[in-house]
Chains A and B, each alone.
Chain A
Amino acid sequence: MRNEAMNGRMKGLRSWLINPVLNKEFTLRMRTVRSMWTLFFYLLAMGFLMLSIVYLTQMLGSNNRSFNPEDSKIMFYFLAFAQLGLIAFMAPGLTAGVISGEREKQTLNLLLTTQQSSSTIILSKLLSSLSFMIVIVLSTIPIYSMVFLYGGVSPKQLILVFLFFVFIMFMLGSFGIMFSTLLKRTMISVIATYGVGLFIFVGTAIIFYVVMAIVSQFQYNNPNTNFSWIGHIIAWNPIAALYSILDPSISNEVFNFNGSSVKKAPIQLWQEFVLIYTALSALALWLSIRKLRPRLKRN
């Protein structure tokens, strides 16, 4: 009896995971030449960055023409931030047109009159875009492997960084799909998604620095006030969050602003970042699912 229930649940999960919308998305995405070119140029950009940093390290570093672990660490940091930038650039482009594109191609109405639920359509589209981005990011592992030749970075750190990348894709993908559902035109949806991405990457950092400048002035007059809360502002920024994975001490530093009484960060920046954006991404997906079909039920 229990086994039957389990089998039923597994079947349900299987049919949800291998649903026609996801199947279609995979087929169509992998058949386009654009996907291959995207992968090619992404690897070309990452390879170019890697070779540039190797060249610069050799040229500007010590004269003994050998790598030291510190160089390798810098190389890893550089690659991680470059990859973060490329993901931020790529994710909106891959997701901000998935629904509005169907609307523009006049295929959406046909899809909406089928038995597929709104959640299946939205989540399948997100999953398919995420899968493609994961393929791209995983294909850069051989480039990262050069870092391991010289030591200085642990595999655990590398896995954590890659999981963080997956989360960034999920987050930007969710916002992209939300705008794609809410806005009728793909172009406007792409602009809105890039706008939100820009705010998250740059805007939050600017807000942090402005608040920090104000607080510095204020603290001068009120030396006993606790300003550790300022760390929670920079926790909204993905660059700071990634930095806190690479160098965990940064979390303690931001929460100990100008000698605040807090010695240890209450939470790592990347952990708070994940919590905040998990909630916002879930909200974005919920909105997309709600707004995909017109609201038919009336009171």
Chain B
Amino acid sequence: MQPAAEASIGEAAPGPMIEIKGLSRTFGSFQALKSIDLTIQKGTVFGFVGPNGAGKSTTMSILATLMAPSSGYAKVDGFDVTKHPEEVRKRIGYMPDFFGVYDNFKTVEYLHFYGASYGIPKAEREALIPQLLELVNLTDKANAYVDTLSRGMKQRLCLARCLVHDPELLILDEPASGLDPRARIEMREILRELKSMGKTIIISSHILPELAEMVDEIGVIERGQMIAQGNVAEIQNRMRVKRFLQIRLLSGEDEAEQFLQDRPYVNKLLRDERGIQIHFGGNDEDQAVLLHELVSAGYKLVSFSEAQTNLEDVFLEITKGGDGVQ
């Protein structure tokens, strides 16, 4: 495999922010990544989706220069992570899925420490840190000890730490995991702000449906393989070949379920408090026929509608164990 040309040290490359080609990683006999290809353009917010153990964190660790690939290459802003890790580290802000904080450090001191570790002079840090604290809504906690902060606050502080050297790329591994709904909303607002600042963000999350409106592209990874990748709308459209119909009846749901199972294009039925959900393989005409049959059979329909697919449905559909959508 012939890697693309490298960027000169100290200069930003004009090409994509992330370029991954044939990336593999093995741990003993276990293959965590199987020849992954991925290109992310500058300014893109990329959602990385996949079940636990699919290889998201491994890919992110390689991009963060914390792990060497077994084969293939990964480049950040034109710099190969194995050949120029120092240049890559200057350009990335990495937030791991699990991270700790130093006890006996105040919030401001914590950020000063990381700022100094990136070589930012003290005078610059003095001006920068209040701005970062304001961005992550921690201004009132500036002098609090880090270990006294709540989990949500620590996540936000870690995000501020990622931004202390103004990196072009943010690698966020499950930034919202373990957060309560309010903290998730706050995190989402900060990420939206960062997107508007033109940062390239690669984010893995289990709450992608919540982030759907801010993610430009998604990549779905399962068992170390990238099984779908592209624009969010594109992938959702691809999924629209399979419809989800939602039916609510006044009564007789059991009989209706029996009736529906024998109808054509009905692939799967699910019952919940909202009614019956049908995984429907037909088109608009087939859908109209089904509605007509239900009414003719005397079922008292309260509603018959097509449910909107969201990223979660896409994720569940793609990762249900088959070969997936390519």
Contact = CB atoms under 8 A, between A and B. Distances in A.
B96 A298 contact: no
Nearest to B95: A110
B265 interface: no
Nearest to A103: B100
B66 A294 contact: yes
Contacts of A295: 68
B113 A106 contact: no
A298 B89 contact: no
A232 B83 CA distance: 45
Nearest to A21: B117
Contact residues of A: prevailing secondary structure: loop
A297 B64 contact: no
Interface in B76-134: 81-83, 85-86, 89-90, 92, 94, 96, 98-105, 109, 113-114, 116-119
Contact of B68 (A109, A111, A298): A298
Given A23-B116, A110-B161, A114-B114, A294 B68 contact: yes
Which of A28, A294, A296 has the most chain B CB within a 10 Å cutoff? Answer: A296
Contacts of A8: none
Nearest to A108: B100
Contact of B102 (A19, A24, A294, A297): A24
Interface in A5-28: 19-21, 23-24, 27-28
Contacts of A116: 117
11 contacts: A27-B105, A105-B102, A106-B98, A106-B99, A110-B99, A112-B65, A113-B89, A113-B92, A115-B89, A294-B68, A298-B82
A293 to B, nearest CB: 8
B66 A109 contact: yes
Interface residues of A, number: 26
Given A110-B161, A295-B68, A28 B116 contact: no
B150 to A, nearest CB: 17
Contacts of B295: none
A31 interface: yes
Contacts of A21: 117
B185 interface: no
A295 B113 CA distance: 26
B117 A297 contact: no
A106 B89 contact: no
A5 B92 CA distance: 33
Contact of A296 (B65, B100, B105): B65
A295 B85 CA distance: 11
Task: Please name the 5 residue pairs, one residue from A and one from B, whose CB atoms are nearest each other, closest first.
Answer: A20-B116, A114-B117, A106-B100, A105-B100, A31-B104
Nearest to A116: B117
A64 interface: no
B94 A113 contact: yes
A37 B179 CA distance: 37
Contacts of A113: 64-66, 89, 92, 94
Nearest to B105: A28
A261 interface: no
Nearest to A110: B99
Interface in A138-158: none
A221 interface: no
Nearest to A117: B86
A265 B39 CA distance: 69
